[in-house]
Amino acid sequence: MTEPERHGAAVRGPLLIPAAETLLLQLDHPDADRCRAELATFAELDKSPDHLHTYRLSDIGLWNARAAGVTPERVIEVLDRYSNGPVPHAMARLVLDSMARFGRIEIEGAPDRASGDDLVVRVDEPALLDELGEHRVVGRLLGTRLDPYTAALAPGDRGRLKQELIGLRWPADDQAALSPGLPFTFSLDDQLELRPYQRHAVDSWLPSGTGVIVLPCGAGKTVTGIAAASAIGAHTLVLVTGEASMHQWEHELLRFTDVPANDIGRYSAKTKQVRPITLATYHVLAARRHGRFRHLDLMQRGDWGLVIYDEVHLLPSAVFQLTAGIQSRRRLGLTATLIREDGRESDVFTLVGPKRFDVPWRDLELQGWLAPATCTEVRVVPTDDERLAHAKAPARERPRLAAAIGAKPGVVTALLRRHAGEPALVIGTYLDGLEPIAATLDAPLVTGSTPSAERLALFAALRNGELPVLVVSKVANFSLDLPEVSVAIQVSGTFGSRQEEAQRLGRILRPKADGRQAHFYTVVARDTVEQEYAQRRQLFLAEQGYGYEIVDATTGADCDPTGEHPSAG
């Protein structure tokens, strides 16, 4: 179809543009899926009702696109191709202005200096350097003016300057050399064949040595990180979310590489080993005692050639703080979603690096790398007493009360009966709701207080088919490898967190040996705060291209929670 035909009276595009930063995608249009895939490279999904999705253009989204090689002309061409009418001048100007800012300020090494550690800030016109020099903090961080386009920069101020600049909407393109670190070469196992998207991800990250790779849970982020470390061939520090993540990284390193076991160190609350490949938890690095972060110097003490941030969207503030001081190290962030509930995506962009690679979840599903999944919200009705207690409770108590609605254990039981014989995970946040469900199912409950050895044994029993169902708290949100589990039932969550939705759905997306489909249920108490949170969490599923059916459940032993009466969702 030609452009005149598309914008003619008979056929118009699926995209409405009511304001300079807002895009509305009509999902019933035949070009909606193609448009959604294009928008994912530079726009952020903001709202996702059934028939009309709202996208937002932001500086970070456009700068990430620019860093990945997308030009402003390409963005405007996509908008023009799919829009219902001409692209408004204000939106075109926003795209051009925002994306043009990336690359106008560069940080480089100073080749004519005696010390290889010296840095310079280079701009594309003298007036910009004058403008930066007038800023109270940036002016102080910039050193001697070397010429009209260049100022000196102390190496220790590299991260702080980038943080200050991005606050002024001036993203710095950091081109300065990175430290090679102490060499440590290892090889991938001959039987490990990287998937095409994993190889593409590493190749996209490798030239810069900094930035973030976004891959779905179950798509092999750990293997991708190990491949990146092998390509670098230097001492590597891997920061992980907890003991389970540490165990998975160690297991994959021993399984897929020739790294000797005694060259892998664990640095956690229990063990303090520093080895050529060191696995450290965010928790221990961010632990403060007597006002001091005693272990943060681990990141500076070793001559690391690479620092890997697993689940980079969860980076604690204290680790951000130290990351600002290690900008001479190669840095790789791994995540299923760059969304941060605290809004600090700009710090990930600035201190770890821009997004270098991303792939839609549904694309990997269609290629057979992820299990196909259906997503269903099952709404249960509180009793009059439960509804009244929820209404009277302080706001901070309402999520806990909603999680413990008495109808939930029966609905969970019915869902599991519907999927009899399939390994299942029941996951939630509040123990008040999880304990009655575990008792009803006569199933083990794993929480933060469950000893690590017992936790790993239960996960192994579920993985091996010895246990049909396991009830888990949010400790299972991350780095839990349960490839044959095909049913996940979410009974409570954390304040509508999209990143949590990504992790929980990801628990069941590994392809099944028998080709089974994955089923992701969220049990929500109607007319409570959970219903509001569920709407936020749907955004993540919609971003990835998943449909999300909403159904009503009746209560009782013989109820069918996937019911005969789906409601509009």
User: Which pLDDT does position 1 carry in this prediction?
Assistant: 41
Separation CA 565–CA 550 (nearest Å): 9
Q: Are strands 487-490 and 424-427 parallel, antiparallel or unpaired?
A: parallel
Radius of gyration of the chain (CA): 25
Dump strand ranges (E) for 178-276: 210-214, 236-240, 264-267
Alpha carbon of residue 267 to chain centroid: 24
φ, ψ dihedrals at 550, nearest 5°:
-115, 125
What pTM was estimated for this model as a whole?
Answer: 0.80
Q: 48 with 539: CB under 8 angstroms?
A: yes
- Topology match between the domains 196-359 and 367-567: yes
State the CB neighbour count (10 A cutoff) for residue 134. Answer: 8
Separation CA 289–CA 294 (nearest Å): 7
Q: 446 with 455: CB under 8 angstroms?
A: yes
Dump strand ranges (E) for 339-479: 355-358, 373-380, 424-427, 445-446, 469-472
Separation CA 465–CA 461 (nearest Å): 6
Q: 451 with 474: CB under 8 angstroms?
A: no
User: Which pLDDT does position 565 carry in this prediction?
Assistant: 38
SS3 state of residue 11: coil
Dump strand ranges (E) for 186-281: 210-214, 236-240, 264-267, 277-281
State the CB neighbour count (10 A cutoff) for residue 246. Answer: 23
| CATH, domain 196-359, list 3.30.565.10, 3.40.50.300, 3.90.1150.10, 3.30.70.20 | 3.40.50.300
What does the pLDDT profile of the chain (569 residues) look like in tens digits?
A: 444 344 443 458 999 998 888 999 998 899 988 898 899 889 887 776 667 888 889 999 999 999 888 999 999 999 999 999 899 999 999 999 999 999 999 999 876 654 445 899 999 999 999 999 999 999 999 999 999 999 999 988 999 999 999 999 999 999 988 989 999 999 999 888 999 999 999 999 999 999 999 988 788 999 999 999 999 999 999 999 888 788 889 999 999 999 999 999 998 878 888 999 999 988 887 777 766 666 777 767 778 999 999 988 777 777 777 787 788 899 999 988 776 666 678 888 888 999 999 887 777 888 888 888 888 989 999 999 999 999 999 988 998 998 899 999 999 999 999 999 888 999 988 888 999 999 999 999 998 888 878 888 888 898 888 999 999 987 766 656 676 788 989 898 776 566 677 677 777 777 777 778 889 898 999 989 888 888 777 776 776 667 778 888 864 334 455 444 333 33
Q: 399 with 446: CB under 8 angstroms?
A: no
Q: 549 with 522: CB under 8 angstroms?
A: no
**Fold type of domain 367-567:** Rossmann fold (3.40.50)
The amino acid at residue 192 is L
Burial of residue 396, with CB atoms counted within 10 A of its CB: 0-12 exposed, 13-18 middle, 19 or more buried: exposed
Separation CA 9–CA 454 (nearest Å): 66
The amino acid at residue 162 is K
Closest residue by Cα to residue 62 from 99, 21, 96: 99
The residues spanned by each domain of the chain are: 3-101, 105-174, 196-359, 367-567
